[in-house]
Amino acid sequence: MFKKKAWILFLIVLAVYFTYLHIQATGDYIAGKKEEKEYTVKLNQERARNEALIKEEERANSQKAIESMARSDLNYLKKGEILFVDGDKK
């Protein structure tokens, strides 16, 4: 009789322990999924930023962009062109 009660008590304790482990693992899984979503969002933002920088670099390396910067920032003129300076602009 005592052995039977001891086995039942042991099985109950074992069931409670495994239930506790399952609940803890589920909580860890949910927290991991939440972190994964956050990192996925950050990763997608950084990928978009990287693509924008690559496109900007490609534009900056093009001959047309270099000429445009030289004309606007350095007042570069082609042969035969006349520079127009706006007197109202300060």
Q: Is 2 a member of any domain?
A: no
Question: In angstroms, rounded to a whole number, what is the distance separating the alpha carbons of residues 36 and 26?
Answer: 15
Query: What is the per-residue pLDDT for 65?
Result: 74
Q: Is 31 a member of any domain?
A: yes
Query: What is the per-residue pLDDT for 85?
Result: 67
Q: Is 5 a member of any domain?
A: no
Q: Is the pTM of this model over 0.75?
A: no
Q: Is 80 left (phi over 0), alpha (psi -120 to 50) or beta?
A: left
- The count of domains in the chain is 1
Question: In angstroms, rounded to a whole number, what is the distance separating the alpha carbons of residues 70 and 27?
Answer: 59
Q: What angle do CA 83, 73, 87 make, to 5 degrees?
A: 45
Q: Is 67 a member of any domain?
A: yes
Residue 30 belongs to domain spanning: 17-72
The tens place of each residue's pLDDT in the chain, 90 residues long, gives 778 889 999 999 999 999 999 999 999 999 999 999 999 999 999 999 999 999 888 877 777 777 777 776 776 677 777 666 666 765
